[in-house]
Chain A
Amino acid sequence: MSLNKLTIHELLPRLAKKEIAAADLARDVAAQIEAVDGRLHAFLEWDREELLAAARGVDEQRARGEALGPLAGIPIGIKDVLNVKGHSCRCGSKILQGYVAPYDATVIAKLRAAGAIPFGRLNMDEFAMGSSTENSAFGVTRNPWDLERIPGGSSGGSAAAVAAGEAPATLGSDTGGSIRQPASLCGVVGLKPTYGRVSRFGLVAFASSLDQIGPFAKDVTDAALVLGAISGRDPNDSTSVPEPVPDYTKALTGDVKGMKLGLPKEYFISGMDKEVETSVRAAVDKLASLGAEIVEISLPHSDYGLAVYYIIATAEASANLARFDGVRYGSRAKDAKDPLDMYGRTRGAGFGPEVTRRIILGTYVLSSGYYDAYYLRAQKVRTLIRRDFMEAFKKCDAIVTPTTPSAAFKIGEKAEDPLTMYLSDIFTVNVNLAGICGVSVPCGFTNLPELPIGLQILGKPFGEETILRVAHAYEQVTDWHKRRPVILEEQPELPMSE
C-alpha cells in the first residue's frame, strides 16, 4: 500500500511503532508527485532531496529516542504564498521572480516545531486573487477529477495535491473562500479558521482583515491535527488572538445529537445547480438522522456580501501590493530612467490582469471623494453581515450551506468575465467578512462527469471544535472522502520502500 494514500492519523501510529519510516513515506510522496504532477501541475517547485533528507532526520531523531512533535515526519505541502526561509515565494506572480524568503512564516515554524516537514511551492491564483488558479502566472493546475477542469482557487494547487495523494496535507490561505471552494471542487476537506486563530506573519497579505491560513486534508481528523499545530497567538501578528488552542481531535466525538444546525434560507435558492442542491440537502438529512435538529435561519444581508468583499478586499490589497515596486526584491523593469518609470513598468509587466484590475478598483474605492460612498459604506454593511451571523448563532450551534453553487467548471470557461468568476465565491465570502470559521467537506458528486460537491459548515468565532465535530460526524457515516480521482487509479501500486 503506497503510504501516500494513508491519512495522517493512520500514518502516525505506524511511524511511532517504527512499522514505517518517515523516509518511506517521503519516498512514496515523492514518487506520486513524479507520477502525476506532470499532468496536474499542482507544484511549482519541490525539492526531492530536501524532503528525503528532512524525513531521514526525523527517523534518526526517533532512533536516538528523542522526543518528537505530534506530526513528526509528515510532509505538508505549502501554498506559494507563505514565506519559507531560503525558498522562493512567488505567490503565483512574475513580480516576485528571484525573491528568496529570508524568514519562516510563523505557521512554518510551528509545523517544524511539531516535527512536520513543510515542503514544495503549491500553485495558486496570483496573489491569491481568483477562484480557479487560472490567474497563476505559471499555468493553471488541473482538477485531479477531470484534467480539463479547474481545481478552484486561489489555493488550487494545495487542494489538488491532497486530492491526488501528492501530500498527506497542505496549507492554503482563504480570503473569500480560497480554501473552502477548491476543497469543495477537489473533494477534500478544507478549513478556514476564525480570523485571528492562526498567525498571518509570513503570509503574503492580500486583504489583511480577511486573510487566514488553513489546512487541506483527506479527512476531518487530519484537518484537526494540522489546525492544532498551526494555531495560537503570535506576538509578531497583532491581529492574532490569545485564545487557548484546544486539542481539536477531542472534538471528534461522532455525536451531534441535540445540536442545532441552521439552514440559511438565502443560501438555498433557485438558480443553484440542481445536483449540488440535491447532495447538500441529502447531507442535511443525514445529519438530521444522526440526531441534529435542523432550524431555518435567515442571514438577511447575504446578498450584499460580494459587493462588500470586492470593495474591502481590493482596497486593502491595493495598499498591500504597493510594496512590489522593484526596489528591494523581486523583478525590476530594465533601463528605467527614473523611479516613476521603474514603478510603472515593473508593476505593469509583473502583475497579471486580475491583480491589476483589483488594484485599480481598490485604489478607486479609497480615492478622494469615493471613500465614504464605497469603502466606509462597505465596512458598515460588513457590520450588518457579521451581526446576521451572531444573531443566527443564538438560534443554532452551526450553520450548514453548500460550499459552491456548482461543481468545477472547465478551464477557460469563465476566464474572460471577472464578474461571473466572482460568483463562485457567493457562499464563502460572507464568512471572511464576519471573521467566523468554516470548513468544507465532500458531500457528493455530480453524475457525468463525476465531480465533487462540498458541504460547508460554519461556526461562530473560535467555534472550530463545533464545526469539526459536525463535519466529522457526517464523515463517519459517509464514504465521499474515501473516493479517489481517476488520475490515481491509473497508477500502478508502488512497492513498499525498504
Chain B
Amino acid sequence: MDYEICIGLETHVQVKTRTKVFCACPTEFGAEPNSNVCPVCLGYPGSLPVINEEAIRKTVLAGMLVEAKIARYSKFDRKNYFYPDMPKNYQISQYDLPLVIGGTVEYDFGVVDKKRLGETKVCHLTRIHLEEDVGKNSHFERTSGVDFNRAGTPLMEIVSEPDLSSSDEAFAYLTALKEILIYGGISDCDMEKGQVRCDVNISVRPRGQKELGQKVEIKNMNTFSGVRHAVDYEAQRQIETLRRGGKLVQETRRWDDVAGVTESMRTKEHAHDYRYFPEPDLLPVSLSEEWLAEVRKLVPELPSAKRKRMVERYGIPPYDAGVLSADAALADYFEAAAKVVKNPKSVANWICNDLLRDLAEAKLAIGQSPVKPPHIAELVDLVDSGKISSKMAKDVFVEMFKTGKAPAAIVAEKGWVQVSDTGAIGKFCDEVIAANPKIVADFKAGKEVALNALTGQVMKLSKGKANPAAVRDALRGKLTG
C-alpha cells in the first residue's frame, strides 16, 4: 500500500512592534525577567486590554502580502485554559472572525536542493489571526519559574491548509513564509529569540484517498530543520503503524531533537474545551477602505516576484537573483548599480563574490557598506571600457572597501591605469622578445603556450598595468610578422 502525507502548519510569529498587543510595555528581548510588565500583561485584577493599532496594521499587511482577503469586520475572543505562563488563564485571540482569510504562499524547492532552483509550488492558507503570546517557563529541580516579559507580545497565527506533502515542502514553505514576513517588516523571524514557532499537523492516507487520515499534532517546533526531521520521522511512524495493522489516535506529540523521535505528550485529563466567547473588554475592528489603502502603500515587491523580475530585466542567473533578493536593502543596492551599467551581470558578480564576503568579515550590513552602488557601477564600466584590467580591478576593490573612495579616484591616485597604448606596449614587447630568445624560438616552433610566458613577462615589466589582450596581440604580431 502506498501512502501519501498531508501536512498543515500553524506558524506563530511574533509581530515586530515596539509595544505589546494589549498594553504599552516594550517588547524588547533579553530584558531582566519580569521588568517589561504591567498590570495588564500580568493579568492583575482590574486590568483591561487596549488594542495596539500597529499590530493590526502588520497583520493586515501580512494578509496583503499573501494576497488573502482582509476581513472588513473582525473581533477578538477569549480562549480559556489554565497554565502558569498564562496571566489571565484565558488568552485573547480570534476565533470565528479573524483579520485575514485565505491567502497563498509560493515556495521554491531551490532552498532544499540547488538544482531545483526555480521549481515552485503553492501552499494555500486558511487564515491569519492576531493573539497575545504567553510568558516563558524555566524549569528547575522542584519548581518552575515564570517570566512574563514575553506575555502579551503580539503573535500572528498563520494557518496553512494541509497542502504540504513532504518534509521538503514543509521546509520550503516555512522558508518562503519567513522571507515574506522579513521583507514586509512584519517580523524579524529570529528563531534564536523564539520569534517563530510551529505546530505541525500531519496525517497519512492511502494514495488516492480523498479523506484525510488521523491527524497527529506535533507542538512547539522552533527550528525549520527540526520540522523537517520531525515530519520525516512522524510520517514514517504513522505509515509503519498502519502497515502493521495498528491504529493511530488523535494526539499531541513532542519532537525530541536529541533522540530523533516524536513522543506522545502526557495528555492532560480532558481534551481542551476552550469555551470560546467574544471578548467583552475589546470592541470589534471595522476596517475602512481608507485605512486599508494606507496599508496597501506599505506592501513591498515580494522576493519571488523580485527574483523573476531581476532575471528578466538584468539577465542575471536565478542563483544570483536569489542571493541578491534575500534582503530588501541588498536588492535595492544591486538595482541602483545595475540600472546604470550595460553589464548588470558584472555588478552581480562584484556584489556576490567580493562585497558580501568583505561585509561579512567586517560584520557590516549592506546599509553600512563603504562601497556605494555608484562605485560598483563605475568599477564595472572601468573594466568594460578597458581602462583597467580585471586583475587590477580586484586591487581597486580592496582599496574601495578600505577607503570608501570611488574607483576612478583610486585608479588616478595609484596610477593603476591599464596601459593599452600600442606604442608603450610595443616597447615592452620588444624588450621581452630581446631578453628571451629561447621562448621566442619555442613559439616560432609552434608552442602556443610560449606566448603565455612572454605575455607574463610583459605584464611583469609593465608592473601589471599593460592590457593583457593587447600584449598578446602585439607579441603575436611581432613574432609572426
Touch between chains A and B, by CB atoms below 8 Å: yes
Contact with B along A1-30 (1 / 0, CB 8 A): 000000000000000000000000000000
Binds B, one of A61-69, A274-282, A315-323: A315-323
Q: Are B39 and A102 in contact (CB under 8 A)?
A: yes
Nearest CB of A to B78, in Å: 5
Cβ of B45: which chain A residues have Cβ within 8 Å of it? 83, 89, 91, 96, 99, 204-205, 323-324, 329
Q: A89-B45, A238-B49, A323-B87 are in contact. Are A315 and B277 (CB under 8 A)?
A: yes
How far, in angstroms, from A368 to B148 measured CA to CA in the complex? Answer: 30
Q: Is A243 an interface residue (CB 8 A)?
A: no
Cβ of A105: which chain B residues have Cβ within 8 Å of it? 46
Q: Are A328 and B43 in contact (CB under 8 A)?
A: yes
Q: Are B47 and A201 in contact (CB under 8 A)?
A: yes
Q: Are B48 and A238 in contact (CB under 8 A)?
A: yes
Q: Are A323 and B277 in contact (CB under 8 A)?
A: no
Nearest CB of A to B390, in Å: 63
Q: Are A322 and B87 in contact (CB under 8 A)?
A: no
Q: Are A238 and B46 in contact (CB under 8 A)?
A: no
Closest to B278 in A: A379
Q: Is A209 an interface residue (CB 8 A)?
A: yes
Within B104-139, which residues are at the interface with A (CB < 8 Å)? none
Q: Is B282 an interface residue (CB 8 A)?
A: yes
Nearest CB of B to A144, in Å: 29
Interface centre among B42, B83, B275 (most CB of A within 10 A): B275
Query: Interface residues of A, CB < 8 Å — how many?
Result: 42
Cβ of A366: which chain B residues have Cβ within 8 Å of it? 80, 275-277
Interface centre among A83, A327, A363 (most CB of B within 10 A): A327
Q: Is B283 an interface residue (CB 8 A)?
A: yes
Q: Is A82 an interface residue (CB 8 A)?
A: yes
- In which size bucket is the chain B interface? 20 to 34
How far, in angstroms, from A29 to B275 measured CA to CA in the complex? Answer: 48
Closest to B79 in A: A319
Q: Is A303 an interface residue (CB 8 A)?
A: no
Q: Is B441 an interface residue (CB 8 A)?
A: no
Nearest CB of B to A202, in Å: 4
Cβ of A363: which chain B residues have Cβ within 8 Å of it? 275
Cβ of A205: which chain B residues have Cβ within 8 Å of it? 45-46, 281
Q: Are B46 and A208 in contact (CB under 8 A)?
A: no
Q: Is B260 an interface residue (CB 8 A)?
A: no
Q: Are B78 and A319 in contact (CB under 8 A)?
A: yes
Q: Is B90 an interface residue (CB 8 A)?
A: yes
Cβ of B43: which chain A residues have Cβ within 8 Å of it? 323, 328
Contact with A along B48-82 (1 / 0, CB 8 A): 11110000000000000000000000000010101
Within B278-305, which residues are at the interface with A (CB < 8 Å)? 280-283
Nearest CB of A to B265, in Å: 15
Contact with B along A78-120 (1 / 0, CB 8 A): 0000110000010100001001001101000000000000000
Q: Are B90 and A322 in contact (CB under 8 A)?
A: yes
Q: Are B46 and A328 in contact (CB under 8 A)?
A: no
Cβ of B146: which chain A residues have Cβ within 8 Å of it? 327
Q: A238-B283, A316-B280, A343-B82 are in contact. Are A202 and B46 (CB under 8 A)?
A: yes
Cβ of A238: which chain B residues have Cβ within 8 Å of it? 48-51, 281-283
Q: Is B223 an interface residue (CB 8 A)?
A: no
Nearest CB of B to A393, in Å: 23
Q: Are A367 and B281 in contact (CB under 8 A)?
A: no
Interface centre among A208, A319, A324 (most CB of B within 10 A): A319
Contact with B along A34-71 (1 / 0, CB 8 A): 00000000000000000000000000000000000000
Nearest CB of A to B94, in Å: 16
Closest to B43 in A: A323
Q: Are A200 and B48 in contact (CB under 8 A)?
A: yes
Q: Is A375 an interface residue (CB 8 A)?
A: yes
Cβ of A298: which chain B residues have Cβ within 8 Å of it? none
Q: Are B44 and A329 in contact (CB under 8 A)?
A: yes
How far, in angstroms, from A205 to B275 measured CA to CA in the complex? Answer: 19
How far, in angstroms, from A236 to B45 measured CA to CA in the complex? Answer: 14
Q: Is B228 an interface residue (CB 8 A)?
A: no
Q: Are B48 and A236 in contact (CB under 8 A)?
A: yes
Cβ of B80: which chain A residues have Cβ within 8 Å of it? 318-319, 322, 366
Interface centre among B46, B82, B146 (most CB of A within 10 A): B46
How far, in angstroms, from A204 to B45 measured CA to CA in the complex? Answer: 5
Partner among A209, A322, A327 whose Cβ is within 8 Å of the Cβ of B280:
A209
Q: A83-B46, A322-B80 are in contact. Are A239 and B87 (CB under 8 A)?
A: no
Closest to B89 in A: A322
How far, in angstroms, from A207 to B281 measured CA to CA in the complex? Answer: 10
Q: Are B78 and A102 in contact (CB under 8 A)?
A: no
How far, in angstroms, from A323 to B80 measured CA to CA in the complex? Answer: 11
Q: Are A322 and B88 in contact (CB under 8 A)?
A: yes
Q: Are A367 and B275 in contact (CB under 8 A)?
A: yes
Within B82-102, which residues are at the interface with A (CB < 8 Å)? 82-84, 87-90
Partner among B42, B44, B48, B89 whose Cβ is within 8 Å of the Cβ of A325:
B89
Q: Are B47 and A239 in contact (CB under 8 A)?
A: no
Q: Are A368 and B275 in contact (CB under 8 A)?
A: yes
How far, in angstroms, from A103 to B39 measured CA to CA in the complex? Answer: 8
Within A297-328, which residues are at the interface with B (CB < 8 Å)? 315-316, 318-319, 322-325, 327-328
Nearest CB of A to B285, in Å: 11
Cβ of B283: which chain A residues have Cβ within 8 Å of it? 238-239
Q: Is A159 an interface residue (CB 8 A)?
A: no
Q: A202-B46, A209-B280 are in contact. Are A322 and B275 (CB under 8 A)?
A: no
Closest to A234 in B: B48
Partner among B48, B84, B87, B90 whose Cβ is within 8 Å of the Cβ of A339:
B84
Q: Is B273 an interface residue (CB 8 A)?
A: yes
Closest to A104 in B: B46
Nearest CB of A to B140, in Å: 14
Q: Are A82 and B46 in contact (CB under 8 A)?
A: yes
Cβ of A368: which chain B residues have Cβ within 8 Å of it? 273, 275
Q: Is A409 an interface residue (CB 8 A)?
A: no
Closest to B38 in A: A103
Closest to A364 in B: B275
Q: Are B280 and A201 in contact (CB under 8 A)?
A: no
Q: A239-B283, A322-B89, A366-B275 are in contact. Are A204 and B82 (CB under 8 A)?
A: no
Nearest CB of A to B377, in Å: 51
Q: Are A237 and B277 in contact (CB under 8 A)?
A: no
Q: Is A33 an interface residue (CB 8 A)?
A: no
Cβ of B83: which chain A residues have Cβ within 8 Å of it? 339
Cβ of A422: which chain B residues have Cβ within 8 Å of it? none
Q: Is A445 an interface residue (CB 8 A)?
A: no
Nearest CB of A to B125, in Å: 26
Q: A322-B90, A366-B277 are in contact. Are A201 and B46 (CB under 8 A)?
A: yes
Cβ of B48: which chain A residues have Cβ within 8 Å of it? 200-201, 236-239
How far, in angstroms, from A371 to B275 measured CA to CA in the complex? Answer: 8
Cβ of A203: which chain B residues have Cβ within 8 Å of it? 46
Cβ of B88: which chain A residues have Cβ within 8 Å of it? 319, 322-323
Nearest CB of B to A87, in Å: 13
Nearest CB of B to A302, in Å: 23
Nearest CB of B to A83, in Å: 5
Q: A102-B39, A204-B45 are in contact. Are A327 and B281 (CB under 8 A)?
A: no
Q: Are B49 and A375 in contact (CB under 8 A)?
A: no
Within B18-48, which residues are at the interface with A (CB < 8 Å)? 39, 42-48
Cβ of A99: which chain B residues have Cβ within 8 Å of it? 45
7 smallest CB-CB distances across A and B, nearest first, come from: A322-B89, A208-B280, A366-B275, A209-B280, A204-B45, A202-B46, A323-B43
21 CB < 8 A contacts A-B: A89-B46, A102-B39, A102-B44, A235-B50, A238-B51, A315-B277, A319-B88, A319-B90, A319-B277, A322-B80, A322-B88, A323-B45, A325-B82, A328-B148, A339-B82, A343-B82, A363-B275, A366-B80, A366-B277, A367-B275, A371-B276
Interface of B toward A, CB cutoff 8 Å: 39, 42-51, 78, 80, 82-84, 87-90, 144, 146, 148, 273, 275-277, 280-283
17 more contacts with CB within 8 A, not counting A203-B46, A316-B280, are: A103-B44, A201-B46, A201-B47, A209-B280, A237-B48, A238-B48, A238-B49, A238-B281, A318-B275, A319-B275, A322-B89, A323-B43, A323-B44, A323-B89, A324-B45, A339-B82, A366-B276
